[in-house]
Amino acid sequence: MANSERQLGELARMEAARRKTQHQLDLIDRLTALIPLLGRRLPRTLPHQSGSLTAERQPEVDALTRNLARQDATIAAL
């Protein structure tokens, strides 16, 4: 009984971590959609900063995506 309760607690923590990772990716998607709109409002003295922002952060986005896939696989295994 204690073992199943521990597993349920573990599963709940994993699902919470997965929701947090998914939320972060959703935020990134929304911000990425807004960047072109914001770029039109930026002064001309900042020519390519808005476009390079996503390129600079792509490795982090890829890492979050891989993490989400691992979390999905782990949760499915339980």
Q: Where are the domains of the chain?
A: 2-77
3-state secondary structure of 46: coil
Residue 7 φ then ψ, to 5°: -65, -40
3-state secondary structure of 51: helix
19-78 pLDDT, tens digit each: 999 999 999 999 888 877 776 766 665 555 555 667 788 999 999 999 999 999 999 998
Over 90: is that where the pLDDT of 12 sits? yes
Position 6 scores a pLDDT of: 93
Q: Is the CB of residue 26 less than 8 Å from the CB of residue 61?
A: no
pTM: 0.77
